[in-house]
Amino acid sequence: MPLEATMMVIDNSEYMRNGDYQPTRFEAQSDAVNTVFQTKIDSNPENTVGIMTMAGKGPEVLVTHTKDLGQILQALHTASSKIGGQIDIPTSIAIAQLALKHRENKNLRQRIIVFVASPLEGQAADEKSMVKLAKKLKKNNVAVDVVCYGDGIEETTEEDKGVLRAFVESASSGDNSHIISVPPATRLLSDALISSSILSGDRSSSIPAELGGTGDIPAASGSGGANQFEFGVDPSLDPELAMVLRMSMQEAQAREAAEAAASAPPAEPTPAAQTTAAAPSSTPAAAPAEPTDDEEERLLQQALAMSEEDVDMEEGGMDEDEDEEAAIARAIEMSMRPQEEQKDKK
Amino acid sequence: MSTTTSADAKERGDVSLLEFLDLSQLDCLNEDSAHTLKSILAQKTRNTSASYLASDADEQLILNIPFNQSVRVRSIVIHGSNPTQAPRAIKLAVNRPTLGFEDVEDAKEPEVAQILSLSQADVMEGRPVALRFVRFQAVNSLHIFVGSNHGDEDTTRIDAIDIFGVPVETTKDLSGLRKQDE
């Protein structure tokens, strides 16, 4: 979704010292804030992001409407030394709304992203007052996203869907507000966030459609589901890697085709034989990657296997430079050969 | 509250100010995403199509209508086709781009430029309602707060809006320049 002014409301209560998210809840949150900031700024250069804390002595706006990563990092650093107290969601949201209202560019839609890792208390636990607040936000065209983790994850039953969920649903107009819960130890908070509905709108605009830029991956999709994608990587998670893998495959295919075409007339069996010989050798290289959570490892193996394949075709050069040199040498050799043949015929 | 006919308006040289709208800055709070203010003003003429503006969470609306140059506003038309959803109490503010519901709900004159109560007949027939001309002399953006409707319904519906007045002659308005006799 383009053109947005975002206010991130972060939790800096005592609960943030908990180490159930690596390395601590606060550090995990800082990482997530960074991710959100980058995604928002990348999705549209006019977008602005602000940041405020909601615990400590009281809610405090640290940065309003910036496009500068340095300011965000500085704010996070400041906040990291002010961990304490309890969160106050209603007041914080009211302040965030005020900060958004005085944005410079009125064309920007308003959005508040709230990070909650503390149990709800006082007014924030009262569903009625929270729904009332949500209605007020909806009236003022403010979208709200909530990221629950740690103690912020509410226990829900069939009838009771939780105060925060009810809050987000009341504030949503045209499906513009979302809530996600990230339990500890599954994966990084920032990873969960980036593949969630909260950022899907911003990601889809920056990713070409052929790489799966629609980005409507449900937040619940775990790491196990990643293998259904080509190369075993979700293109919307890491578009650059997906693009590199795809390009490398296309290059390899093009080279193979060119070689097949070049080797056919002189009836030279070596390259084709080597490719077939290389193929089985590369498969075991990919096989040891066990289906564990670390997809990166797996990807690395796959990319490695692919590049090795290329190398093998070029008569076993181990280095990239050697590979290139070998290719040039071969090209020269090949270009010489027809001339020699012609000379022989003459 | 006196009403003027469109014939009177024409005699005074008033024109529809919708042609001076700045559509990119047009904004409406609490509008239904399916029935927006843009849909009834995008043509820069009085809306005659089937589209209309409807409120979303409750009956209140804030219409922010910016112009691309200063204008003087003499009268406005707010037309609604549904008698119970027709707007009743409205407040008009001038050049207040950050206006929010909490600013205007309890506001009285002269905090807002004018407080009006529209009659059902005016809205149904789309008659121009005269404003206090002196308070609308250098309008860069007009803000209309709709507080209630005639049937106390949850949604307020507005089918068309028109604004009459005169543009302030500025260098910005190059269309007004004419060759002078030498």
pLDDT digits (tens, 9 = 90+) for B17-59: 999 998 888 889 998 888 999 999 988 889 888 999 999 888 9
Mean pLDDT, rounded, for A283-299: 58
ipTM associated with this complex:
0.75
pLDDT-wise least confident of A180-184, A322-326, A341-345, B124-128: A341-345
| CA pair distance A229, A235, nearest whole angstrom | 8
In a domain, B80, yes or no: yes
Tokens representing residue A160 in the block: 């009771």
* Domain extent at residue A10: 4-216
| CA pair distance A170, A180, nearest whole angstrom | 15
Q: What CATH number did the domain enclosing B84 receive? A: 2.60.120.470
Mean pLDDT, rounded, for A269-286: 47
* CA nearest to A191, candidates A22, A17, A18: A22
| CA pair distance B155, B147, nearest whole angstrom | 11
**CB of A180 within 8 A of CB of A192?**
yes
* Cβ-Cβ contacts under 8 Å for A260 (sequence gap 6 or more): A271, A272
pLDDT digits (tens, 9 = 90+) for A83-139: 999 999 999 999 999 999 888 887 888 999 999 999 988 888 888 999 999 999 998
pLDDT value for A340: 60
pLDDT value for A346: 53
In a domain, B103, yes or no: yes
Residue B97 to residue A106, Cβ atoms within 8 A:
yes
A321 and A183 housed in the same domain: no
In a domain, B172, yes or no: no
Residue A107 to residue B56, Cβ atoms within 8 A:
no
Residue B56 to residue A174, Cβ atoms within 8 A:
no
**CB of A190 within 8 A of CB of A32?**
yes
Domain's final residue, options A216, A236, A267:
A216
pLDDT digits (tens, 9 = 90+) for B124-172: 999 999 999 999 999 999 999 999 999 998 999 999 999 999 998 765 5
- A148 pLDDT higher than 80: yes
- From A135's Cα to the closest Cα of chain B, the distance in A is 6
| Beta strand ranges found along B8-159 (DSSP E) | 15-16, 27-29, 53-54, 61-79, 89-94, 114-117, 129-130, 139-146, 157-158
| CA pair distance A176, A56, nearest whole angstrom | 30
Greatest C-alpha distance within chain A: 98
Using CB atoms within 10 Å of the CB of residue A339, give its burial: 0 to 12 exposed, 13 to 18 middle, 19+ buried.
Answer: exposed
| CA pair distance A185, A182, nearest whole angstrom | 9
**A106 interfacial to chain B (CB closer than 8 Å):** yes
Domain's final residue, options A186, A216, A246:
A216
| CA pair distance A48, A188, nearest whole angstrom | 25
| CA pair distance A198, A143, nearest whole angstrom | 11
How many angstroms separate the first and last alpha carbons of chain A?
69
Mean pLDDT, rounded, for A292-313: 72
In a domain, A227, yes or no: no
* CA nearest to A52, candidates A2, A129, A115: A115
Residue A135 to residue B33, Cβ atoms within 8 A:
no
* Cβ-Cβ contacts under 8 Å for A102 (sequence gap 6 or more): B98
Containing H/E element for B79? strand B61-79
* Domain extent at residue B107: 6-167
Tokens representing residue B20 in the block: 């001076």
Name the residue among B27, B56, B58 with its Cβ closest to that of A173.
Answer: B56
**A102 interfacial to chain B (CB closer than 8 Å):** yes
**CB of A140 within 8 A of CB of A163?**
no
A80 and A194 housed in the same domain: yes
In a domain, B33, yes or no: yes
Residue A140 to residue B100, Cβ atoms within 8 A:
yes
* Cβ-Cβ contacts under 8 Å for A337 (sequence gap 6 or more): A266
Interface of A with B in 163-182 (CB under 8 A): 173-174
**A138 interfacial to chain B (CB closer than 8 Å):** yes
- From A221's Cα to the closest Cα of chain B, the distance in A is 30
pLDDT digits (tens, 9 = 90+) for A26-77: 999 999 999 999 999 989 889 999 999 999 888 999 999 999 999 999 999 9
Interface residue of A100, A110, A139 to substitute, partner B, most B CBs within 10 Å = A139
Tokens 């996203």, located at residue: A145
For chain B, the helix, strand and coil percentages under 3-state DSSP, each to the nearest 5:
20, 35, 45
Question: In chain A, what residues touch B58 (CB-CB under 8 Å)?
Answer: 135, 139
The sheet that has A60-66: what strands, in order across it?
A: A60-66, A48-53, A4-10, A109-116, A142-149, A179-182
Residue A106 to residue B30, Cβ atoms within 8 A:
no
* CA nearest to A26, candidates A16, A36, A18: A16
Residue A158 vs residue A346, higher pLDDT = A158
In a domain, B176, yes or no: no
Q: Residue A279, Cβ neighbours under 10 Å: how many?
A: 12
Rg (CA), chain B: 16
In a domain, A307, yes or no: yes
Beta strand B139-146 with B61-79 is antiparallel
Q: What CATH number did the domain enclosing A57 receive? A: 3.40.50.410
CA angle A5, A104, B24 (to 5 degrees): 85
Residue A4 vs residue A206, higher pLDDT = A4
The answer to whether the bond into A284 is cis (omega within 30° of 0) is no
Query: What size, in residues, is chain B?
Result: 182
Nearest residue in A to B22, CA atom: A107
> For chain A, what is the mean pLDDT?
79
In a domain, B104, yes or no: yes
As for how many domains chain B has, the answer is: 1
**Helix count and strand count (H, E) for chain A:** 11, 6
Tokens representing residue A307 in the block: 């590049």
Rg (CA), chain A: 27
Nearest residue in A to B55, CA atom: A139
Q: Residue A341, Cβ neighbours under 10 Å: how many?
A: 12
In a domain, B175, yes or no: no
As for how many domains chain A has, the answer is: 2
Model confidence band, residue A225 (pLDDT cutoffs 50, 70, 90): very low
**A250 interfacial to chain B (CB closer than 8 Å):** no
Residue B98 to residue A101, Cβ atoms within 8 A:
yes
- A226 pLDDT higher than 70: no
- A320 pLDDT higher than 80: no
